[in-house]
Chains A and B, each alone.
Chain A
Amino acid sequence: MDEPALIRSAQHGDLEAFNSLVLAYQDRLYNTALRILGDEDLAADATQEAFLSAFRGLNGYRGGSFRAWLLRTVTNACYDELRRRQRRPTTPLEPAGENEEEIESPDWLGDPQASPEERLEQAELEHAIQHCLEGLPADFRSVVVLADIQSLDYAEVALALRKPLGTIKSRLARARLRMRDCLQGFRELMPAAFRLEEESGA
């Protein structure tokens, strides 16, 4: 069944159809939540909450980009979590990432089929990006996560975050500049990744 048909069935209360959509989008939503929140357990909770909220509010979807609509539910769930965290701050469970041992933690390894060098490089890159993302204000972070990590179009980001296009454009530029400044501090940690970009950019 194609996506619009699944959405229509789900809007009529077909839970099986909705669960097919969940399976198709769960990785995307989970990764978005993980990058915004920086915590696996909280990201899983936010993803579950987002799907539940999406099912309940599915009749509010009136066409357009469904992934942007779904990503709105997950960013809302993340904002709720960030607000809760502001009210009662807790010690992060994941490595804060100031030393090598924490970066090499298996929790941070990506593709299990990659070679040890690639896995280490992926872990370093992921750690550096996550560290820099967490240094951004939440509004900038969500824009850069949706536009550059989830590869959403400006219009989709505007739909997901309910902000005008001009605001998205401006926030994305600021977020990229801050990420650039922050990532330059990790150049030593991930020489291979930067070397590739330098070659491709040349």
Chain B
Amino acid sequence: MTSPSFHDLEQLSAFLDGKLSREAETRLTTRLESDAELRTSLEELRQTRALLRRTPKRRAPRNFTLTPKMAGVRPPMPRSVPAFGWASAVAVVLFALTFLTNLVAPVTLAPMMAAAPKAVAPVLGSSASNANTAGAAPSAQDLTTTPPPALLLQAVPPATSEAESSTPELQARTNLQATPPVEAIAPMPAARPPAFHLSGLQIGLVALAVLFGLLAFLIRLTTRRVFFQNIDQEHKKQ
């Protein structure tokens, strides 16, 4: 009689669960009749299994049911949400279109402005001389009459090119006109408004886009909140 090998113990474990083939079971039963140590091992394994089966069962500390939020379920949204969303998007597109036409407009106006440099030049001259004589920023009147830098930049080069081929008096005037105005006007914030200048239509479109977007967001938020609050209440009732 020797102590059982691991193979024997493995057979005993399967025998306990009725998982041996009929042939193997018959062989093991015959051995068990004559081998006391094998019987002891079988009994110990049986006791161990019985103890494990008696392991106290715990109740789950809480319910593990899933909420729609956990499961990734989306609440049904009212139709107004996509409608407001689209309206906001359309307002943004329209705004962008009006902005694009504003950008294109100076190009189409350029030839007209180039055709009248002389009309602009005296104004530039007066503002420049004011700047030089006063040694300070031009008066409010000058600022209102001074064209925007975009127009200045278009207007100045033809004036200087004309000045090169004219009299010294004119050249002296253009020296005053050509360089100082840009330097004098450039640092002044009031002299570069075109990028921020919005028409009434553009302001309206922006307001609509923001309003519709905000409405869509608020309705979505409220719907989600109400939906999940109802679910939570049902969950608590259960």
* Contact assessment for B44 and A193 in the assembled complex, using a CB-CB cutoff below 8 Å: no
Write the nearest CB–CB distance from A201 to chain B, whole angstroms.
Answer: 5
Residue of A nearest to B16 (CB): A176
* Contact assessment for A111 and B56 in the assembled complex, using a CB-CB cutoff below 8 Å: yes
Of A26, A47, A173, the most chain B CB neighbours within 10 A belong to A173
Asked if B60 CB lies within 8 Å of chain A CBs, one says yes
A34 to B55 Cα, complex, angstroms: 12
The interface residues of chain B lying within 8 Å CB-to-CB of A173 are: 6, 9-10, 12-14
The interface residues of chain B lying within 8 Å CB-to-CB of A79 are: none
- Can you list, as one digit per residue, whether each of A27-59 has a CB less than 8 Å from chain B (1) or not (0)? 101110011000010001001100110010000
Asked if B111 CB lies within 8 Å of chain A CBs, one says no
Interface residues of B, CB < 8 Å — how many?
A: 36
Q: How large is the interface on A (under 10, 10 to 19, 20 to 34, 35 or more residues)?
A: 35 or more
A198 to B50 Cα, complex, angstroms: 11
Per a CB cutoff under 8 Å, which of A40, A123, A125 touches B54?
A: A125
Per a CB cutoff under 8 Å, which of B12, B65, B71 touches A23?
A: B65
The interface residues of chain A lying within 8 Å CB-to-CB of B53 are: 148-149, 151
A110 to B13 Cα, complex, angstroms: 29
* Contact assessment for A149 and B9 in the assembled complex, using a CB-CB cutoff below 8 Å: no
The interface residues of chain A lying within 8 Å CB-to-CB of B64 are: 22, 26, 29-30, 44, 47-48, 51
Q: A147-B17, A174-B6 are in contact. List 8 more A-B contacts (CB 8 A).
A: A19-B65, A34-B58, A35-B55, A52-B66, A122-B56, A149-B53, A149-B55, A176-B49
